[in-house]
Amino acid sequence: MRRTDLTPAPSQRRDGETLSKLLPYFWQYRWRVGVALGFMVVAKLANVGVPLLLKQLVDGLSGAATNPAFVIPLGLLLAYGGLRLSTSLFTELRELIFAKATEGAARQVSLRVFRHLHELSLRFHLERQTGGMTRDIERGTRAVHALISYSLYSIVPTLIEVALVLTLLATQFDWAFAAITGAALTVYIAFTIGVTEWRTQYRRRLNELDSATHTQAIDSLLNYETVKYFGQEDFEARRYDAALEKLRRAQLKSQTTLSLLNTGQQAIIALALVAMLWRATEGVVAGRLSLGDLVMINAFMIQLYIPLNFLGVLYREIKQSLTDLDKMFTLLERPREVADAPDAPALQVTGGAVRFENVHFAYDPARPVLQGVSFEIPPGKKLAVVGPSGAGKSTLSRLLFRFYDVGSGRITIDGQDIRSVSQHSLRSSLGIVPQDAVLFNDTLAYNIGYAREGATLAQIEAAAQAAQLHGFVASTPQGYETRVGERGLKLSGGEKQRVAIARTLLKDPPILIFDEATSALDSHNERAIQAQLDAVGRNKTVLVIAHRLSTVVDADEILVLEHGRVVERGRHAELLAAEGAYARMWALQASEGRG
């Protein structure tokens, strides 16, 4: 069976696989990576040189009391300051050079995910959880920065410094110093990784609850009016509080295990420091080591264990970043249910003839929606589809826009199967006024002009006038700069529908679909706009999906759809004379109108 973009996500991949998917995004910045790594090595060499100079200074000062001719080692002091400055300088240069690579990779990943989400089918977007999905994308984008920050800026420099220090300890002193340091580091890292791996289950649960809580809050706020209609503010607060309580418990468990990790790390560090200092102190007393050696060893240990003290946090964050990145890459790997064929040509509209040929379709295989629907709309003609709710009327427009592919049969425009042409060219040739117009949280001008990129204000105003919207816009204080609110909630249903009509008129495509285009308008505005729609539809192919039969009496052909099948077809007068399903619907609506 063909996978769709609702196929369950695969199980979590290995960290190496996730990281390998991120690396190609940095390939174009490879020279920056090389230069940044070079600066990092130089910074660590300078950092390791600081304790060596400190040893020379202490040993020199130790002989000052017995040597009256002692001269303050100005060169060593300047070199010490220079090394300190070099450490910070090359660290900042590393970050400056690599910043463009980090930001560029994060931008490319985010853009690719954004594009891919728009390429997924309507089925995916109808069933998605917006709050949780946006949280996953947000965390995934942050994970790109975190991985670079923690690995290139923390883990790798620390490993370089550890290698340099162990080499110096083994060559400058006896093997015991390097053995104690190496053993302590091994135990420290093993303990950190082991405990952090054990804690990962709690972190993953914490993230799941965080996404679920965020989803619940977003869903409740988006349905603000419904909550108010039914007075369910307290119910929503209780639901949210229950989610927050689960989140609190997960956070406490995560913090408890983190405290265990930190305590164990500090115990290992303390034992290693005691062992190293005991060995160094014994060497000083025996005369094998100088005070400068003791100071240098102590400085090395401090330089090593300060970054290692955060290893647990770094490892945990890297693991979490890889998990977050994996979730975002999982979104990228969701196959598209509706995809263009390789090298799909652009649709060539010569007349605009639309043809449905024995189309079968079901959102769910157990419940067919369309069963063998066939009809043709000749170029420049208007065809209307009427029928009860759930008959499959709006499904026709979704299939024509190719939000879904047909189960069997085919849909053609001027003889071209719409599955064989590019989706962009197909949708560029279609215009729709939907029953439920959803607007962007922007201005009226933006929402109308969205139909044609680069449209002038004069063109936007002309479309608004044709949609009987200009008068309303002129009455607002900010005119076309009036913001419509999220999903257009600041406008009435009729105003939103007129915005939808205006932007379709601005697009001016050869094929038009009116899906209950005037359902939210009053009778006066409906008659005015219906006349305008009729004028705009002249010489265009028009598909009208209607509930009110009075709006389709002039159609060239009317189809009556019931249970996914065409049960009647003909012109208005012919269908009335047939005294079938259409005539019964007409009589019912006429009696409702009289009532």
* Amino acid at residue number 452: R
List the domains of the chain with CATH numbers.
15-332 (1.20.1560.10), 345-429+509-595 (3.40.50.300), 439-507 (3.40.50.300)
CA angle 25, 94, 90 (to 5 degrees): 170
* Amino acid at residue number 104: G
Query: Is residue 383 a contact partner of residue 377, using CB atoms and an 8 Å limit?
Result: yes
Query: Is residue 377 a contact partner of residue 354, using CB atoms and an 8 Å limit?
Result: yes
The parts of the chain modelled with pLDDT lower than 50 are: 1-11, 69-70, 595
pLDDT at 9: 43
Question: Of 541, 548, 539, 569, which Cα lies nearest the Cα of 557?
Answer: 569
175-222 and 130-150 helices cross at what angle (nearest 10)?
160
pLDDT digits (tens, 9 = 90+) for 256-267: 888 888 788 888
pLDDT at 2: 40
Question: Of 208, 189, 205, 201, which Cα lies nearest the Cα of 315?
Answer: 189
User: φ, ψ for residue 274 (rounded to 5)?
Assistant: -60, -45
**What gap in Å lies between CA 10 and CA 329, rounded to an integer?**
11
CA distances from 227 to 129, 213, 270 (A): 19, 17, 57
* Amino acid at residue number 489: L
Question: Of 218, 224, 9, which Cα lies nearest the Cα of 131?
Answer: 218
Burial class of residue 25, CB neighbours in 10 A (0-12, 13-18, 19+): middle
Question: Of 107, 106, 6, which Cα lies nearest the Cα of 331?
Answer: 6
Question: Of 168, 204, 186, which Cα lies nearest the Cα of 299?
Answer: 168
**What gap in Å lies between CA 175 and CA 159, rounded to an integer?**
20
Query: Is residue 157 a contact partner of residue 48, using CB atoms and an 8 Å limit?
Result: no
User: φ, ψ for residue 513 (rounded to 5)?
Assistant: -125, 125
Question: Of 157, 156, 164, 166, which Cα lies nearest the Cα of 186?
Answer: 166
In our burial notation (b when 16+ CB lie closer than 10 A, e otherwise), range 554-589 reads: ebebbbbbeebebebbbebeebbeeeebbeebbeee
The overall longest dimension of the chain from CA atoms, in Å, is 127
In our burial notation (b when 16+ CB lie closer than 10 A, e otherwise), range 55-80 reads: bbbbebeeeeeeeeeeeebeeeeebb
In our burial notation (b when 16+ CB lie closer than 10 A, e otherwise), range 248-269 reads: eebeebbeebbeebbebbeebb
Question: Of 485, 460, 486, 455, which Cα lies nearest the Cα of 473?
Answer: 460
Question: Of 25, 160, 141, which Cα lies nearest the Cα of 91?
Answer: 160
Query: Is residue 576 a contact partner of residue 566, using CB atoms and an 8 Å limit?
Result: no
Query: Is residue 90 a contact partner of residue 50, using CB atoms and an 8 Å limit?
Result: no
DSSP E strand boundaries for 291-434: 354-361, 370-377, 382-386, 408-413, 416-417, 430-433
Strand pairing report for 557-562 and 541-545: unpaired
- Secondary element (H or E) of residue 315: helix 311-332
Residue showing tokens 């208005």: 572
**What gap in Å lies between CA 350 and CA 353, rounded to an integer?**
8
Q: The whole model's pTM is what?
A: 0.62
What sign for the dihedral angle of Cα 505, 509, 512, 514?
Answer: negative
Q: For the CA atoms of the chain, what is the radius of gyration?
A: 35
Q: Name the 3-class secondary structure at 448.
A: helix
* Amino acid at residue number 173: F
Strand pairing report for 382-386 and 557-562: parallel
* Amino acid at residue number 424: H
**What gap in Å lies between CA 152 and CA 386, rounded to an integer?**
64
Query: Is residue 102 a contact partner of residue 145, using CB atoms and an 8 Å limit?
Result: yes
In our burial notation (b when 16+ CB lie closer than 10 A, e otherwise), range 201-230 reads: ebbebbbebbbbbbbbbbebeeeeeebeee
Other Cβ atoms within 10 Å of 35 Cβ, number: 14
pLDDT at 153: 67
pLDDT at 15: 63
**What gap in Å lies between CA 392 and CA 434, rounded to an integer?**
15
Residue showing tokens 């629907």: 373
What sign for the dihedral angle of Cα 203, 208, 212, 218?
Answer: positive
Q: Name the 3-class secondary structure at 373.
A: strand
pLDDT at 588: 86
pLDDT at 16: 63
pLDDT at 560: 92
